Amino acid sequence: MNIDYSEFTNYSRDEILTKLQQHLSEARYQHCLNVEATAISLAQRYQGDVTRAGLAGLVHDYAKQRSDEEFKQVIVQQHFDPELLAYNNAIWHGIVGAYFIEQELNIHDEQILNAVRRHTVGAPAMSQLDKIVFVADFIEPNRDFPGIKEARQLADEDLDAAVRFEVCHTLTYLIQKQVAIYPGTLLTYNALVPNH
Ligand code: GDP
Ligand code: FE
Ligand code: FE
């Protein structure tokens, strides 16, 4: 991939790849490369910010394999909402993961960091970049689940419809599994459906 991220970090793309490899399994690393490429395609399709989309996609799961202890320490020491302690890595790796990305990859751009923070649970008001990374994570070429075809088709036609489909799909899946829903995920959902 020939894309220049030097506007947003002093590390070269190759150095970022090395850091990702140090912290992630091969499968998770490949997922990050796939999300980078998919986010770039979506940004091109929707006339978005291709460079931010690529970099946010590349690093979005950087903290995915940190220990629970590391996350808990950062939540307490950096004064994140203590409610987060009731959840787990699924929620932490985006919202708190952005902190590791800022510290260790020297990426300080708030638009990129917000896209990482919101990549799992979304937000009531998402930027186009947030939506691109959120959807790219869901439809990258290695993803396979019932509904993936529709998700990819919607992503090709209407970015907002793709976001709505993903939020509904994820909530349905979590409820079927009977696991706790992070309140932020519900706020995202409520902002996407009509008021009653
Ligand atoms: P990944 O990091 O590429 O695997 O994908 P995501 O960051 O989108 O999601 C990570 C995990 O968090 C997935 O298993 C989701 O189903 C799960 N997840 C998303 N929203 C919530 C939520 O509100 N509560 C809980 N408990 N899990 C969630
Ligand atoms: Fe993730
Ligand atoms: Fe991911």
Nearest atom in ligand 1 to 186's CA: 23
Nearest atom in ligand 1 to 61's CA: 2
**What is the full per-residue pLDDT of the chain (196 aa) written as tens digits?**
899 999 999 999 999 999 999 999 999 999 999 999 999 999 999 999 999 999 999 999 999 999 999 999 999 999 999 999 999 999 999 999 999 999 999 999 999 999 999 999 999 999 999 999 999 999 999 999 999 999 999 999 999 999 999 999 999 999 999 999 999 999 999 999 998 6
CA-CA distance, 146 to 144, in Å (whole number)? 7
Residue 161 CB–ligand 1 contact under 6 Å: no
Closest CA to 63 of 95, 28, 30, 100: 100
Secondary structure letter of residue 82 according to DSSP? G
Secondary structure letter of residue 62 according to DSSP? T
Secondary structure letter of residue 120 according to DSSP? T
* Contact in structure between 56 and 157 (CB atoms under 8 Å): no
